[in-house]
Amino acid sequence: MRVILAPMEGVVDHLMRDLLTAQGGFDLCVTEFLRVVDQLYPERSFFKICPELANGAKTPSGVPVRIQLLGQSPEWLAENAARAVALGSPGIDLNFGCPAKTVNRNKGGSVLLKEPETLYAIIREVRQAVPAHQPVTAKIRLGYDDTSLMLENARAIEAAGATELAVHARTKRDGYRPPAYWEQIALIRSEIGLNVIANGEIWSSDDAKRCQAVSGSTDLMIGRGALACPSLAAAIKGLAPKAPWEAVQALLKRYSQFEIRGDKGLYYPNRLKQWLQFLRLQYPEAEALFQKVRTLSDKEAMLESINP
Ligand SMILES: Cc1cc2nc3c(=O)[nH]c(=O)nc-3n(C[C@H](O)[C@H](O)[C@H](O)COP(=O)(O)O)c2cc1C
């Protein structure tokens, strides 16, 4: 079984990848998306979204980090994919799931699920631009408004030469509302030969088992569940039990040191609140801490709350 850390724009940056992969259980991370319109980005843009490139594209605990691109132009995506891989990204992931309005207006993300032929053109062009031994992976939802093109999209992705496919088991219209329709993943799997990674609403080891049983997929991708329970990947693999609050508290302290040292220092209070909002789903202590810091905007005051 592989467990992959889901890409989460504005939440899972290299600092969070460092913290989460240090808890064990993860086999791969995918970066926040780099949006490609009509240019070949300079090298620094790839390092910005994936500082791990300077470390062989691995987190400090040695987990590979793959760059994700989002866009609609096969040519520009291919050029940027080639550069990302040349800089060390272990393959390329293509985002066809993003529901954001601005992204969809510019024809990137989930809106492309309405156009199987565009999915095909993009993956084919990127596949040709990236050395054959490097994976080209795709991440989709079940569809845009509905699932009517789901199987056609999956077939197009396979025919274009993708290496594997991650499926967030909801349509764009479903947003992030539970449930995730894992049974639809089983349908996709019966239609194509590609390895399919199941994603959506995995919050516990039990969810992971049920998702595997219902979808038929062995490999899983987890996002919000890992933010709510940083030891989730290790727990899913049976490597460690759910971490106690004290261990999570130590992570919050480490995160604080990171954020304050890093260039995101200014954002620290908001980032911390954002993380606590996930953690409080699993830890009552995080709820109490969140209530304590929610009105604070001062970095020092927040640090004081974490280190009473
Ligand atoms: C705040 C946020 C940001 C996200 N950013 C991305 C992204 O950059 N690329 C992407 O493919 N998916 C993105 N997603 C979707 C997640 O990767 C994942 O598919 C989704 O959260 C469902 O999985 P989960 O239930 O394990 O969280 C994002 C989701 C959230 C909540």
Say whether 127 counts as a known binding-site residue.
no
Strand partners, 143: 171
In 3D, which of 162, 163, 181 has the Cα closest to residue 124? 162
Say whether 104 counts as a known binding-site residue.
no
**72-99: b or e for each residue (b if 16 or more CB lie within 10 Å)?**
bbbebbbbbbbbbbeebbbbbbbbbbbb
Q: Report the C-alpha gap between 156 and 121 in whole angstroms.
A: 9
For residue 186, pLDDT beyond 90: yes
pLDDT of residue 106: 73
Question: Could you tell me if 126 and 262 lie in one domain?
Answer: no
Ligand 1 site-directed mutation target among 93, 203, 224, 282, most atoms within 8 Å of CB: 224
For residue 265, pLDDT beyond 60: no
Say whether 223 counts as a known binding-site residue.
yes
Question: Could you tell me if 260 and 220 lie in one domain?
Answer: no
Question: Could you tell me if 272 and 229 lie in one domain?
Answer: no
Least confident of 108-112, 159-163, 223-227, 234-238: 108-112
Q: What is the pLDDT of residues 57-97, one digit of tens each?
A: 999 999 999 999 999 999 999 999 999 999 999 999 999 99
Q: Which of 236, 255, 271 is the C-terminal boundary of a domain?
A: 236
How many distinct structural domains can be found in the chain? 2
**Collapsing DSSP states into helix, strand and coil, what is residue 308?**
coil
Q: What average pLDDT does the chain have? A: 94
Question: Could you tell me if 171 and 300 lie in one domain?
Answer: no
Q: What range does the domain containing 149 cover?
A: 3-236
Least confident of 89-93, 108-112, 120-124, 223-227: 108-112
Of 106 and 235, which is predicted with more confidence? 235
Q: Is the CB of 109 under 6 A from ligand 1?
A: no
Question: Could you tell me if 131 and 150 lie in one domain?
Answer: yes
How large is the average pLDDT for residues 210-221?
Answer: 98
How large is the average pLDDT for residues 222-234?
Answer: 98
Q: How far is the CA of 153 from the centre of ligand 1 (A)?
A: 20
pLDDT of residue 263: 59
Confidence of residue 261 (pLDDT cuts 50, 70, 90): low
Question: Could you tell me if 199 and 71 lie in one domain?
Answer: yes
Q: Is the CB of 199 under 6 A from ligand 1?
A: yes
How large is the average pLDDT for residues 9-34?
Answer: 96
Confidence of residue 208 (pLDDT cuts 50, 70, 90): very high
Q: How far is the CA of 172 from the centre of ligand 1 (A)?
A: 12
Question: Could you tell me if 88 and 180 lie in one domain?
Answer: yes
CB of 164 within 8 A of CB of 195? yes
Q: How far is the CA of 18 from the centre of ligand 1 (A)?
A: 18
Least confident of 1-15, 28-42, 52-66, 245-259: 245-259
